Amino acid sequence: MKNFDFHVPTKIIFGEGTIPQIGNEAKAYGKKVLLVYGKASIKKSGLYDKVIASLEEAGLDIVEHPGVKPNPVLSHLHKGVEIAKKEKVDFVLGVGGGSVVDESKGIAAGAMTDVDPWDFYIGKEDIKATLPVLTILTIPATGSEMNNSSVITNEETKEKVGFLDGHLYPKVSILDPSVTMTVGPDYTAYSAVDAISHLFEGYFTNTAGWLPIQDRLVEGLVKSIMESTEIILKDPEDYSGRATFMWCATLAWNGLCIAGIGDFAFPMHLLEHPLSGLYDIAHGAGLSITIPAWLTWMLDKDTSKIAQFAENALGINKGSQDRKAQKGVAALKSWFEKIGSPTSFSAAGIPDSDIENITDFTVKLAKIWGMDGDYTRDKIIELFKLCL
Amino acid sequence: MKNFDFHVPTKIIFGEGTIPQIGNEAKAYGKKVLLVYGKASIKKSGLYDKVIASLEEAGLDIVEHPGVKPNPVLSHLHKGVEIAKKEKVDFVLGVGGGSVVDESKGIAAGAMTDVDPWDFYIGKEDIKATLPVLTILTIPATGSEMNNSSVITNEETKEKVGFLDGHLYPKVSILDPSVTMTVGPDYTAYSAVDAISHLFEGYFTNTAGWLPIQDRLVEGLVKSIMESTEIILKDPEDYSGRATFMWCATLAWNGLCIAGIGDFAFPMHLLEHPLSGLYDIAHGAGLSITIPAWLTWMLDKDTSKIAQFAENALGINKGSQDRKAQKGVAALKSWFEKIGSPTSFSAAGIPDSDIENITDFTVKLAKIWGMDGDYTRDKIIELFKLCL
């Protein structure tokens, strides 16, 4: 096992009926809140009214910043920073999915500095301080509600970049699975793929050797995500399924499963970011293309970990190591298709002929993420060919 | 899944060579530290010198409170509180195993009040504030380094009582697996049993229904604890074995595995506390007696969860549900014996004839813990008969 620090200070309040706790939690962080959210959906569902009522009951002043897009964009983040500064808000409350939470974090960081927050994303500047961030999660997938990560798309340059910083942990996140019952089958599928992808990067790319507990955490989470996804797709109102899915998605990317695994890479995310950045498809929809591609490419290199995964998470225990690995990749790809997430460019509406342009963006991101040594242009092209 | 709050603010610094970080971490909490530890072992190993050097380099004033006993006692805790108050220390640093950490927490609570800290343990008073607690762990087992629990024995009344309070989370815990290489085979075995016991209480006694991820966390941790224990017993200097064991023991009782399981009971601990309280045996040595006893007693009531455990954690997948459960309990008991932890009163040097007296103490503890409805005197006697 490798050395690590583990410090996840976020307070999670989990369960049915917990939304009205937000006012009481929030008032510990000041008097004036910037309420960040997406489109009309939280108004339609009644969630917006519940949140406002609780904040008002706690005596808080509310400034709103609606209109966060899926794959949140830098210009909207800039606008949020402007409002936060002008209104001198004390903290930020994001109500929505990972996009809303990610943009809320970016606003909280931007509000405390004169630096362009984009410089934090591309590693040009370090965060010195942020406003406190609280969240109410409506779509479980990214894990942003309990982690130190944020991803933003710069729509001018078309770059989609994520980064990690200890200041980005939310103070409090409320997770009410019943709020997620309106998430449709498409986003349920994309979210499942997203959560699984967070587990895969560390699991498949670390070089730390024997990691029995970390591996079992990942295998157990993947199995539980797959089971609960199938339950939700059958019955969208199954509370146990929604709750299991929601908590698994949080645990998948809150630092628990990577504690002790040392350095690892993000090849599946590296290949995906340009897809959702350029074509505005859901992040999970892009990942269900790039995950099987990367795993297929690995089948020629080293099948040991893929075979272990196939056996422990998918119950594939017959045949040679290579055979188990091959069956495992095929089974995973089929499962992505079965739940309705695309596994090829064409299935996602991405023209095969764009492969060179997509590769240009990937090469650029590989440089920002320090992966350009391993992921050369040739290798990236080779991988994208497996996405066609 | 049941509603829950999850908030574990402890910062974990894990790995070889991390001890010298203590000074830098500690100075954030004040100028004067109460250094709590046990006997000579940390001096012999050189750990004491390393800690003192780091604290002095950070410019801290050090007041010492050595002599914590395994199964730490109230009179020594009282003495620590007296010193902490007289010397006006800013925070407490416990260097040792779970006993040292537990007493450090009790001192930190006692130092901020005129109430007898024993009243916190027996639920007569609530903690309002504590001094910050930092820890350097030398024996992984109790999980106290990352949880809100403390256990103390009142040597006058012979009561051994534990309690939970959100104030009791350490601020920082340093876990260096190489420090644990001197833990002998006896305490390695007792620690393994202790860590497993923490996983079992919630796993076997919750009534929340379908809990796929919580169950898999427990099963994965038990398997990893068993594997790493065997590695350590073969080669005490195997770093990977020590590191895996150490991290698993922390995760076994830091709130992760019980998040969402709702109410659960502590029957195996209820039966054990009087054993280590009265006979001063290691807590783990008592648990390896009470765990198989309680599970054996359960074989007549409900075998479903025991069979699940036998299958998923021990690989026992042949036969009926009852048969799998029976085999599972037998296999676990054999494993405890194999690693050198006692599974009966006589093996631990406890006279069978003391059963009535032990039961008196257990009945009293059942009342303090609110378990006296389920665990009547008759039932307790019946359970202890399975320990003979």
Mean predicted confidence (pLDDT) in B212-237: 98
- Please, what is the Cα angle at B57 between B56 and B63, to 5 degrees? 15
Residue A40 confidence class, pLDDT cut points 50, 70, 90: confident
Last residue of a domain, one of A178, A196, A216: A178
For chain A, give the longest Cα–Cα distance.
Answer: 65
Shared-domain flag, residues B211 and B112 = no
Residues A97 and A192 both lie in one domain: no
Tokens of B6: 């999850």
Q: How far apart are the first and last CA of chain A?
A: 38
Domain-embedded: residue B241: yes
B336 touches B288 (CB < 8 A): yes
Residues of A whose CB is below 8 A from B220: 213, 216-217, 219-220
User: Looking at the domain assignment, is residue A1 inside a domain?
Assistant: no
> Residue B6 falls within a domain, yes or no?
no
Whole-angstrom Cα distance, residue B187 to residue A302?
40
**Is B374 touching A (CB cutoff 8 A)?**
no
Report yes or no on B305 lying in a domain. Answer: yes
Residue to test with chain A: of B180, B213, B261, most A Cβ within 10 A: B213
Torsion over CA of B56, B62, B68 and B73, rounded to 10 degrees?
Answer: -150
Question: How many Cβ atoms from other residues are within 10 Å of residue B186's Cβ?
Answer: 14
pLDDT at residue A158, rounded to an integer? 84
Report the pLDDT value the prediction gives residue B203, as an integer from 0 to 100: 98
For residue B108, give both structure tokens: 């930190």
Confidence of residue A71 (pLDDT cuts 50, 70, 90): confident
DSSP letter assigned to residue B73 = B
Q: Which two tokens stand for residue B337?
A: 């014996």
How many separate domains does chain A show?
Answer: 2
Q: Is residue B364 part of a domain?
A: yes
Residues A328 and A275 in one domain: yes
Can you tell me the distance from the alpha carbon of B211 to that of A182, in angstroms, rounded to the nearest whole number? 22
Report the DSSP pairing between strands B91-96 and B61-65.
Answer: unpaired
Q: What CATH number does the domain containing A342 carry?
A: 1.20.1090.10
* Chain A residues with CB-CB distance to B208 below 8 A: none
Q: Do the Cβ atoms of B224 and A247 come within 8 Å?
A: no
B208: contact with A, CB 8 A cutoff: no
In this structure, the answer to whether residues B222 and B371 fall within a common structural domain is yes
> How many alpha carbons lie under 13 Å from residue A367 in its C-beta half-sphere?
8
pTM: 0.96
Distance (Å) from the C-alpha of residue B249 to the closest C-alpha of chain A? Answer: 11
The overall average pLDDT reported for chain A is: 97
Q: Do residue B217 and residue B358 come from a single domain?
A: yes
DSSP E strands: which ranges in chain B? 4-6, 11-14, 32-37, 61-65, 91-96, 133-137, 149-154, 159-164, 172-175
| Residue where one domain finishes, among candidates B154, B178, B202 | B178
Alpha-carbon B56 to chain mean position: 31
CB B228 within 8 A of CB B244: yes
CB pairs under 8 A between A and B: 117
In DSSP notation, A85-123 reads: HHHT-SEEEEEESHHHHHHHHHHHHHTT-SS-THHHHTT
pLDDT of A230 reads: 98
Kindly report the backbone phi and psi dihedral angles of residue B303, in degrees, each rounded to the nearest multiple of 5, phi listed first.
Answer: -100, 0
pLDDT digits (tens, 9 = 90+) for B264-299: 999 999 999 999 989 989 999 999 999 999 999 999
**Predicted confidence band at B118 (pLDDT cuts at 50, 70, 90)?**
very high
CB of A263 within 8 A of CB of A257?
A: no
Q: Which amino acid is at A301?
A: K
CA distance B107 to B112: 9
Q: Is residue B53 in a domain? A: yes
Say which of B14, B228, B239 has its CB closest to residue A6. B14
Are A220 and A161 members of one domain? no
Residue B5 resides in a domain: no
Same structural domain, B361 and B248: yes
Q: Could you say which of B12, B16, B220 has the minimum Cβ distance to residue A220?
A: B220
Place of tokens 């569902």: A45
Q: For A153-210, how does the pLDDT look when each residue is reduced to its tens digit (9 = 90+)?
A: 999 998 888 889 999 999 999 999 999 999 999 999 999 999 999 999 999 999 999 9
CATH of residue B152: 3.40.50.1970
Check whether residue A163 and residue A292 sit in a common domain: no
A171 touches B: beta carbon within 8 Å: no
**A344: which 2 tokens?**
């090829």
The residue segments making up the domain with residue B29 are 11-178
Residue A6 domain flag: no
User: What is the rounded CA–CA span in Å between residue B56 and residue B67?
Assistant: 22
Q: Which of B83, B121, B93, B84 is nearest to B277 (CA)?
A: B121
Helix (H) or strand (E) holding B17: none
Q: Which of A151, A178, A205 marks a domain boundary?
A: A178
Please compute the mean of the pLDDT values over residues B246-270 and round it to a whole number.
97
Contact yes or no for A140/A175 (Cβ under 8 A): yes
Q: Say yes or no: ipTM exceeds 0.90.
A: yes
Q: What separation, in Å, do the N-terminal and C-terminal C-alpha atoms of chain B show?
A: 38
Residue A169: partners with Cβ closer than 8 Å, 6 or more residues away: A8, A9, A10, A146, A147, A148
Indicate if A258 and A337 belong to the same structural domain: yes
Q: Which residues of chain B are within 8 Å of residue A213 when distances are taken between CB atoms?
A: 220-221, 224, 244, 247-248, 251
Residues A163 and A204 in one domain: no
**CA–CA dist B43, B375 (Å, integer):** 44
Model confidence over B161-209: pLDDT tens digits? Answer: 888 999 999 999 999 999 999 999 999 999 999 999 999 999 999 999 9
> Which amino acid would we find at residue B363?
V
Please tell me the least confidently modeled range out of A108-122, A156-170, B320-334: A156-170
Both tokens of residue A170?
Answer: 């939310």
Report pLDDT digits (tens) over A321-377.
999 999 999 999 999 999 999 999 999 999 999 999 999 999 999 998 899 999 999
Question: What single-letter amino acid sits at A55?
Answer: L
pLDDT of residue B359 exceeding 90, the answer is yes
**Residue-wise over B92-114: b if at least 16 C-beta within 10 A, else e?**
bbbbbbbbbbbbbbbbbbbbbbe
Looking at the fold, whether A193 and A226 belong to one and the same domain comes out as: yes
Let me know whether B281 and B215 are in one domain: yes
